Structure 1
Amino acid sequence: MSRTKSLWLVLAAVLAVIVSYQTVASTADRSGQFVADADVPTVAPGADVLAGVAVVPERMRGHDYRRAAFGEAWTDDNDAPGGHNGCDTRNDILDRDLVDKTYTSISRCPTAVATGVLHDPYTNVVISFMRGNQTGAAVQIEHIVPLAYAWDQGARNWSEDMRVRFANDPANLLAVQGEANQDKGDQEPARWMPPNAAFHCQYAMQFIAVLRGYGLPVDAPSVPALRQATDTCPRG
């Protein structure tokens, strides 16, 4: 039985983000699909999963998005377990999400993952990770709520510090198959959901939690996609 660390729920305010982590583990059922165990988010009967999230008619897409507005690709100033340890966010997320790991020391990071295994929640494939020249190809760190989407929905008006925090917030990050990450790009839920339907509940709930935590609205076309995905969550 395989397990994969995946998501944490966000408890955050717009100006002072406080992140609470809840590890979501998945196991494989007889069909081989990853299905969540008791740590999967549950939805109370009749609850509005989008409560507290504003809805706008459409994605407010502009042509002024700049990745650099969210700071350097990764920093060590993050709230991942072991953060502020000399390892940047990418290395911290690899350590969080991979299993069967070995370690090496690189630059200022004494515990960089050298090898490991990813049970990819997006595609349900098992990927062997080995650090090297192509270290970013097979396994990539994905922003659940894409940076460009956040920018279009209001992050363009945030302070630089807020955008850097968002880009490095472990609650919005997940190690996934590189191809799936590239396929998603900056698309919103109306246009893209993980190919692995067994992960739709966790993906949608985390997407919504990040929007709520950072005070970002959702585009109306994505509302039915998110509601359909959360309909697969256990009721409790």
Structure 2
Amino acid sequence: MSTTSGTRGRRRALVGLLGTLVVAAAAACGPIGTTTSTGGAAAPPDAPPGALPGAPTEGSGDGGLDAAQGQTALATLGLLEVKGRAPKTGYDRDLFAYREVDLDGNGCDTRNDVLRRDLTDVVLKPGTQDCVVQSGTLADPYSGTSIAFVRGASTSADVQVDHVVALSDAWQKGAQQLDRAARERLGNDPLNLLAVSGPQNTQKGDGDAATWLPPHKAFRCAYVARQVAVKHAYGLWVTAAERDAIAGVLASCPDEPLPAGATSPPVGQAPAPVDPAPVEPAPADPAPAAGGTPADPGNARNCADFATWAEAQAWFETYLPHYGDVAELDGDDNGVACERLPGAP
């Protein structure tokens, strides 16, 4: 046998051993509960209606994670159900209401909350109640590089906010069984969100650990630990290939802890909606102000106001460089507005 094939054989054996250790570690932490139709652990018998599977009961004092908090990621991996993907039928990113709810009630949208948390040297846009991040520096966990963030039509996409467990992946592994409040929590939970390199986020797509891992290897243990924490907190499952990939990463860091849970509203309570800015009827484009800078239009337009993508993109490019988030025309922050309209690239 060649040295290369011998190494591969030992690696496969190690991953198989890790799978055995996962089950053993789970058993050592207590019996695995019964499962529900979501594919995760059942909610406690005394949990209120709408409680997340495996989530703490109201008034327990726990955060977004249940009793697995404080365990290792490897032990918690053994608590996740293993089965195949469900069909993607019915998936719509909007069902998770990313940036449409305000879990912490601070009046700021989720993207800007994450940017303020993850960036350094943050400069906030005046007049936004300290919400909107104008610029800052990201120590990108996915690439291991430093990225300068500047808000603008051509620069905002350099830094994107990634759902660590991609929403499409979550949908195919149990999230379609969650109620609306739980899905919206998942879509906006800081535990499942990281500011990262735009190109790396695009490369990841909706992949799980079996198809994509951060190229910055020093971050892989923390990355898969966060995926395990999110999937456990929301009762989602993993595929066999995904479990083996996570176990393979954790082989080098078997004591990797779960990340701290995010602050969430009481279980069963819907997130507080973000109050939309008042919209004037039949808004008209404001006339340019002195010096060639267009007058601030406010949040007076949405995609339904435009017949074609070209019209929406032209309006977006006119005002975004001067006034930042003037309207929610670019939900994924890639610099392209209203991508569902006719003519969008």
- TM bucket (normalised to shorter chain) is 0.7 to 0.9
Paired positions, count: 196
Over 3 Å counting, the alpha-carbon distance change for 1:154 and 1:235 in structure 2 is closer
CA apart distance, 1:43: 4.5
Find the aligned partners of 1:196 and 1:213 in 2 and give their Cα distance.
26
Unaligned runs of 5+ in 2: 1-42, 44-50, 57-62, 257-345
**Is 2:177 aligned against 1:157?**
yes
**Percent same amino acid at aligned positions?**
40
The answer for the alignment partner of 1:19 in structure 2 is 64
Partner of 2:339: none
Measured after TM superposition, the shift of residue 51 of structure 1 is 2.6
Which of the numbers 235, 238, 247 marks the counterpart of 1:215? 235
Task: Give matches, 1:37-186, under 5 Å.
Answer: 43=72, 48-56=75-83, 58-71=84-97, 73-78=98-103, 83-105=104-126, 109-186=129-206
Taking structure 1 as the reference length, what is the TM-score of the superposition?
0.75
Instruction: State whether residues 112 and 132 of structure 2, in contact with CA within 8 Å, keep that contact through their aligned partners in structure 1.
Output: yes
Amino acid at match of 1:75: E
CA distance in 1, matches of 2:114, 2:155: 14
Which protein shows a greater Rg?
Answer: 2
TM-superposed CA distance for 1:64, in Å, is: 2.6
The answer for the alignment partner of 1:3 in structure 2 is none
- Answer yes or no: is 1:196 the counterpart of 2:196: no
Q: 1:228 aligns with which of 225, 248, 252?
A: 248
Once the two structures are TM-superposed, the CA of residue 100 in structure 1 deviates from its matched residue by 1.3
Q: Shift of the alpha carbon at 1:162?
A: 1.3
- Does the Cα contact within 8 Å between 2:136 and 2:148 map onto a contact in 1? yes
**8 Å contact kept, 1:116–1:129:** yes
Shift of 1:62: 2.3
Alignment check: 8 A CA contact 1:121 1:176 kept: yes
Question: 1:33 matched to which residue of 2?
Answer: none
Higher RCO, 1 vs 2 (CA within 8 Å, ≥6 residues apart): 1
Q: Which has the higher helix share?
A: 2
Cα shift at 1:129: 0.5
Q: Which stretch of structure 1 is more off in the superposition, 126-135 or 193-202?
A: 126-135
Q: Distance in 1 between matches of 2:96 and 2:131?
A: 25
State the alpha-carbon separation in 1 of the partners of residues 105 and 100 from structure 2. Answer: 9
Give the partner amino acid of 1:74: R
| Change in 2 beyond 3 A, CA 1:157/1:235 | closer
In structure 1, what residue type is equivalent to 2:99?
W
CA RMSD of aligned residues (A): 2.4
Once residues 250 and 86 of structure 2 are traced to their aligned partners in structure 1, the CA distance between those partners, rounded to angstroms, is 24
